[in-house]
Amino acid sequence: MPNTVDVDAIRKAGQRLDAPDGPIQYLRNVETLLAEVKLPGGALSWFGTGVVERHNAAVDGHLDNVRTGVEHLRRAAAQLEQSAKNWEKSDQPWVVK
């Protein structure tokens, strides 16, 4: 049996990344929750200002990582879609059309 490429499976894999229950939506939910745990400047009185600043800096670092993850997953979804389109256009015999 010759090797075959399942173009629909490639396309579906990319779509699942951005599905309502997919990893991109999960990270968006995490981003929303993380943004809510930031503390206002005077949350721990004047003596706790440094703690609040460090806490918020840590939250900002996590938010940056989450946003980067979303960006990478969106790029992966786009690349999977492009790969599916390329395979559809291919005239190679192992492509399933």
Q: Cα(52)–Cα(55) distance, rounded to whole angstroms?
A: 5
Q: Cα(17)–Cα(25) distance, rounded to whole angstroms?
A: 8
Q: Cα(38)–Cα(88) distance, rounded to whole angstroms?
A: 47
What pLDDT score does 1 carry?
43
pLDDT band at 41 (very low <50, low <70, confident <90, very high): confident
**Predicted model pTM:** 0.79
Is the four-CA dihedral 21, 22, 27, 28 of positive or negative sign?
Answer: negative
What pLDDT score does 25 carry?
96
Q: Residue range 10-31: average pLDDT?
A: 95
Q: Which residues contact 7 (CB under 8 A, 6 or more apart)?
A: 84, 87, 88, 95, 96, 97
Q: Which two tokens stand for residue 62?
A: 């996590």
